[in-house]
A = this chain, B = another copy of it.
Amino acid sequence: MQTRATNLNRLLAPSSIAVVGASASADKAGHQALVALARFDGEVFAINPRASEVLGRPGFASLSALGRPVDLVVFAIPAQACPAAVREAIECGCGGGLIVGGGFAESGAAGAALQEQLAAALAPSTFRLLGPNTAGFVNKPASVTASFVAGADRIPEGDVAVVAQSAGVCLTVSFLLGQLGYGVSLGVGLGNGIDVDAADVLEFLAEQPSTKAIALHLEGVPRGRRLFETLRKITPHKPVAVLTVGQHDVGEFARSHTGNLIGSYALRVSALRQAGAVVVESTVELAAAAAVLSSNRLPPRLSPGIGVLTAQAGPGLLILERLKSRGVAVPALAAHTIERISQCLPPMTYLKNPVDTGRPSESFSKVLSALAGDESIDAIAVFALSEPAALRPEEVLPHVSAACRKPIAFGTLGPPEETSAAARTLRGHGIYVAESPEALAHAATVLALDATLRARVAREESSTTAPSVGETPRERHDEHAAKILLQSLGIPTPRRAVCASHDEARAAFRDLEKPVVVKLLASEILHKTEVGGVRLGIADTESLHRALEHIDAIPIQSPRRYLIEEMAPPGLELIVGAVRDPSFGPSVMVGLGGTFAEALKDTVLRLSPLSRSAALEMLDELRASTILDGFRGSAPLDRHAIADVIVALGSLLHADATITEIEINPLRVHAGGVLALDALVV
């Protein structure tokens, strides 16, 4: 019985392959596809209406004529012919297919229609399709090069899987891995990704023993929540590094590329991190991150410590600065560690963390062992310019790393003829070798980040209970109703009264603490302030009267009501919201309120559900996070109360499928807690 999962295995690790459109003409894709399969030792069939043999492979007029289902069909034919060919492959019971050519959604309306025909053909079946508009894939352990891109068969073999939206990026990262001394297990270009997407390939890779780490490249992510759930299952067992685009306005070009919309970069990055993936910012960083993680991972730990040992202070300073800029802990060493190190080094060297040995001497190994032995250190970054007469890193580092059972990354530079053999030896011992101070800092950052994110994933697994929200009120079309909803979530709101007349307003005014705010309550008015529907600081009955008259002058259709509300104590204004993202589902947001803050875009996002700890981390990520520690001499603000509001709004979206968006703006935060001053529910 074939399932979608087993058919994906057939596609990516086939024992038999048919090339539809196989050709003896060297300029045809169907020729290149056959040539690329030269080293594959399974069965290969050439499908061509007019040839009984192509390039030494047995030829058949059609997949049906072949008479038996193959695992993988490579469709090297024009776009218009693809839907019929895919239908035939499905009827024959083939496992999966690959459409290398373009001419689909990325190219306009006619192509989009063809892509829809493909999707319609696939829908009722378990047949899997990679592409269209992809250069294909290589599976090194299986000797499959299902790609017609030049150079694809010369990608070096190794432990890292490269899964990329773009075939060009897949090859770029693969060659970069080769330059770093690593190689590729599986390399996949997803192209338009109408069936097989990143999450599918990740599930395949989770079970593939030859893959030790995964490098992922994403443009748009149409099924974000599924990718998130898949990643979260995989990252505890296999490390994943991700590069994604869309931080800047590149949408039009991106759409032309794979026909995908880009979506919110910030939400995507937050979701990827929340799922335990290390997000990087360039192809070089992606290759390096996957390479580092393919041989080393720290145990999950919220704030792992990096020890820095350098033989040259200048590069050491660059390493330290880079680590600090990435928020990596470079902890102070224990007194007994400093004592041990000081016995090995001349007095003028810097003995804290970084440890600066000055030029390396025979004591280097002892200093390194002492640093590695410190309890606060989880991994060590060592930098030393090549000086074989003074230090042989290929002898010292593997020895110390094995003894202390902590990963070491090594940064060095020198004449290539001097450094390359040592680098090979070090890599053989699982020690990553970086060729600049900043590349070394990146390697250490990746190790630390991977450990932090995994610790967070584990914490969320254990501490995020299924969101429990009681029955929520159905009425929510005005501010008062929205505030009742917030109260049902345990979110404090100001004391208030809804009044239908001046008399009721005066009575309410007597009961409430002065001064009050008087607001127009009318579901048809979305922005009360702009029509003059909010009167602040009403302290006496005469002001109340004037305020009510002002509000009476605003023309509305619905019955006129007034919201009389106690003024909130002064404090900081935040925006807290939850929204149902079309791709990633329920997500929450916190940001500074007010005009300036909006212009500064100081907001942080997360997928919901999330724990209170995760919500507290969101507050730490605000650029203006120090404000929460107290501003204008005030006491520290109640971070826990803010975190609880964030968690509650997220939970609401899980509990009530009719709500697509809720925003508290502003949430007034003061030393004693929080107060939702206005809210909008969609």
Residues in chain A within 8 A of chain B (CB atoms): 102-103, 106-108, 111, 149-151, 154, 164-172, 175-176, 178-179, 217, 219, 243, 245-250, 252-254, 256-258, 282-284, 311-318, 320-322, 324-325, 347-348, 350, 352, 354, 356, 358, 385-390, 413-416, 418, 435-439, 530, 592, 594-597, 599-600, 602, 623-624, 626-627, 631-633
Contacts and interface: CB of A to CB of B under 8 A. Distances in A.
A283 B414 CA distance: 14
Contacts of A169: 312, 314-315, 318, 437
A348 B106 contact: yes
A159 B258 CA distance: 43
A168 B320 contact: no
Q: Which 6 residue pairs are nearest across A and B when measured between Cβ atoms?
A: A166-B314, A168-B312, A107-B348, A248-B324, A257-B313, A169-B314
A578 to B, nearest CB: 23
A385 B172 contact: yes
Contacts of A179: 416, 435
Nearest to A348: B107
A387 B599 contact: no
A256 B164 CA distance: 45
B348 A103 contact: yes
Contacts of A320: 248, 250, 253
Contacts of A599: 623-624, 626-627, 631
A438 B282 contact: yes
A363 B535 CA distance: 68
A317 B415 contact: no
A315 B166 contact: yes
Nearest to A325: B248
A249 B317 CA distance: 10
A172 B311 CA distance: 12
A257 B627 contact: no
Given A386-B151, A600-B623, A317 B437 contact: no
Given A102-B358, A314-B165, A354-B253, A415 B151 contact: yes
A175 B436 CA distance: 10
A311 to B, nearest CB: 8
Contacts of A325: 247-248
A108 B348 contact: yes
Contacts of A111: 348
A283 B437 contact: yes
A168 B321 contact: no
A628 to B, nearest CB: 9
Contact of A253 (B172, B317, B632): B317
Contacts of A254: 317
A513 B172 CA distance: 69
9 contacts: A107-B347, A166-B317, A172-B436, A245-B317, A248-B324, A253-B320, A283-B438, A530-B633, A599-B626
Given A314-B166, A437-B172, A439-B284, A595 B249 contact: no
Contacts of A317: 166, 219, 245, 250, 253-254, 257
A410 to B, nearest CB: 14
A29 to B, nearest CB: 10
Contact of A321 (B245, B413, B627): B245
